[in-house]
Structure 1
Amino acid sequence: MRNPGDEIVTLDENGDTAGAGEGPVRSCILTRTRDSRDALIRLVLTPGGQVLPDLRAKAPGRGAWIGATRAELDHAMAKGRLRGALSRAFKTGDIAVPDDLSTRIAAGLERAVLDRLGLEARAGHLLTGSDRIETAARGGQLRALFHAADASADGARRLAQAWRVGSDKEGSDLKGVVLPLPRTILALALGRENVVHLGLTDRAAAARVSETLDRWLHFIGPDQDAQPCETASRGSSAPGVSGANAGRKRNEESE
């Protein structure tokens, strides 16, 4: 990663750079690509020699970072490349990598997304129900729009159109993100009934959800029914978009 000439650069405990204005930068032990620690996944070595994901990056001790997708990680595990990279990072060959490491990471990242949505709901930043979301969208108050994987295409299109009208972006491709989660999972996580569509009305909340979601979607890969979103922190007025799944049977919300 390029560092401006007047930027103070220091080395962290893992030998990676930390720019004064960007925060710590880490290197993926598999691909050697560099990114901020918030975009990568930290692995730690337990006292018993087991390698575990540390998604919050708060566990003590030396860490190893990966920015690979799930498919890349599984391939590296099958070829023995992950073990070799971890041995070099932890400076020991006495390590045990669980066979379900990628499953644990994917589950943890999914939980982080659901937890973040729950926090924003409790803070009053999240709307559910087509009517409430459409009203906020047409009033220019909507900052992010998401749909369950089993949401109807018609319902998603109607809300997207309302969002474009309220954002004065008619004719653009602004629309919501289809989450790789069914309504039952979203409803259970949020403690609400029949959660099909979700809207965020706070710009900072939209950025927080988008960052957490981007991290998960990058790891699980493009074969899922969603696309990464651009966050408000990257200069966008709202998260980026993905089309709702076509061909779904129309389901109306009861809320």
Structure 2
Amino acid sequence: MRNPRNDTLGAERPKARPAGETLPERKCVLSGSHGGRDELLRLAISPDGLVLPDPLARAPGRGAWLGVARADLEKAIANGKLKGAMARAFKGAPLTIPDDLAVRIETALRRTLTDRLGIELRAGNILLGTEKIAQGCRAGAVRLLAHANDAGSDGPNKLAQAWRVGEEAEGSGLKGTILPLDRAALSVALGRDNVVHLGVTDAAAAERIAGHLRRLTRFLGVGNEGLVEADSAAPPSDGAAANDDIDTKGE
């Protein structure tokens, strides 16, 4: 018999990290707060000094990390705080911050999420269709249950009930995640008509999707109910120093 899981993500928890192993962290260039790479967004500096979003943190060259919501970023752009913080981080190197940086970031984060959903669907890790998802939920095969933000309440509630049954977690409050995407955007991302719900059947795929979703919801400044951090990961030791707010590689 499976032990019921009470985490709202529904993805299998990763194995505990070996003692002494620290989590890679980055520091927000604006707020000074620290977070993991799947929480903060990397800003890359192009060869001509243009500051651009690097949502996959793969661009070569120098970069800095951002962990604030869009509203705070827009204020920091307007009052010059971001430019000052970036100038200090890069020791006065010439740089240009586009006025529409916040728009570019949101667009990039949405694209990485929808691209990941499409990749996981093609890999066979996503169930579509209410009946197929319900069957997967009752069989205990769904690791992440998610819905378009215009899905209403009836469908999500019924699927959540099936999920709790399959996880032997009735009464736990386990439920799906509302995506920051409507059914039109979800349908385009997955190349299907009228996609409202989805069920992710692979634990690693669920965590990959959740990483992109955490970053987007954090930037949008909305709650990411239904997503939790893995509590089996060991925190950094007292003597572990977090990485700086600037890096020299996109790795």
Structure 1 and Structure 2 fold alike (TM over 0.5): yes
Gaps of 5+ in 1: 1-5, 8-19, 237-255
Inter-CA distance 105–63: structure 2 relative to 1 (3 Å threshold):
same
Q: What does the per-residue CA deviation read over 1:118-146, in whole Å, with 9 as the maximum and x for residues that have no partner?
A: 11111111011100000011111111100
Q: What does the per-residue CA deviation read over 1:65-114, in whole Å, with 9 as the maximum and x for residues that have no partner?
A: 11111111111112210010011111226321111101111111111111
Aligned counterparts of 2:232 and 2:162: Cα–Cα separation in 1: 22
Q: What does the per-residue CA deviation read over 1:138-157, in whole Å, with 9 as the maximum and x for residues that have no partner?
A: 11111110011111211111
Aligned counterparts of 1:228 and 1:62: Cα–Cα separation in 2: 34
Contact 1:137 1:163 in 2 (8 A): yes
Aligned counterparts of 2:62 and 2:112: Cα–Cα separation in 1: 23
The code of the aligned residue for 2:173 comes to D
- The aligned counterpart of 2:45 is 45
Gaps of 5+ in 2: 1-18, 234-251
Q: Percent identity?
A: 48
- The aligned counterpart of 2:246 is none
Aligned counterparts of 1:122 and 1:227: Cα–Cα separation in 2: 27
- The aligned counterpart of 1:86 is 86
- Give the C-alpha shift of residue 57 in structure 1: 1.6
Contact 1:214 1:228 in 2 (8 A): no
- The aligned counterpart of 1:22 is 23
Flag the structure with more relative contact order, 1 or 2, with Cα contacts below 8 A and sequence separation at least 6: 2
Q: What number of residue pairs does the alignment pair up?
A: 215
Contact 2:176 2:226 in 1 (8 A): no
The code of the aligned residue for 2:118 comes to G
Aligned counterparts of 2:66 and 2:180: Cα–Cα separation in 1: 22
- The aligned counterpart of 2:225 is 227
- Superposed, 1:1-255 pairs within 5 Å as 7=20, 21-23=22-24, 25-92=25-92, 94-222=94-222, 227=225, 229-231=227-229, 233-235=230-232
Aligned counterparts of 2:130 and 2:226: Cα–Cα separation in 1: 23
When the two chains are superposed, the root-mean-square deviation of aligned CA atoms in Å is: 1.9
Could you say what secondary structure the match of 1:38 adopts? coil
Could you say what secondary structure the match of 2:53 adopts? strand
Contact 1:217 1:227 in 2 (8 A): no
Deviates more, 1:72-81 or 1:158-167: 72-81
Contact 2:39 2:218 in 1 (8 A): no
The code of the aligned residue for 1:230 comes to V
Deviates more, 1:126-135 or 1:198-207: 198-207
Contact 1:217 1:228 in 2 (8 A): no
Aligned counterparts of 1:178 and 1:38: Cα–Cα separation in 2: 19
Inter-CA distance 51–234: structure 2 relative to 1 (3 Å threshold):
same
Contact 2:175 2:226 in 1 (8 A): no
Contact 1:213 1:228 in 2 (8 A): no
Query: Normalising to structure 2: TM-score of the pair?
Result: 0.80
Could you say what secondary structure the match of 2:162 adopts? helix
Could you say what secondary structure the match of 1:49 adopts? coil
Aligned counterparts of 1:154 and 1:56: Cα–Cα separation in 2: 35
Query: Normalising to structure 1: TM-score of the pair?
Result: 0.79
Could you say what secondary structure the match of 2:74 adopts? helix
Could you say what secondary structure the match of 2:38 adopts? helix
The code of the aligned residue for 2:84 comes to G
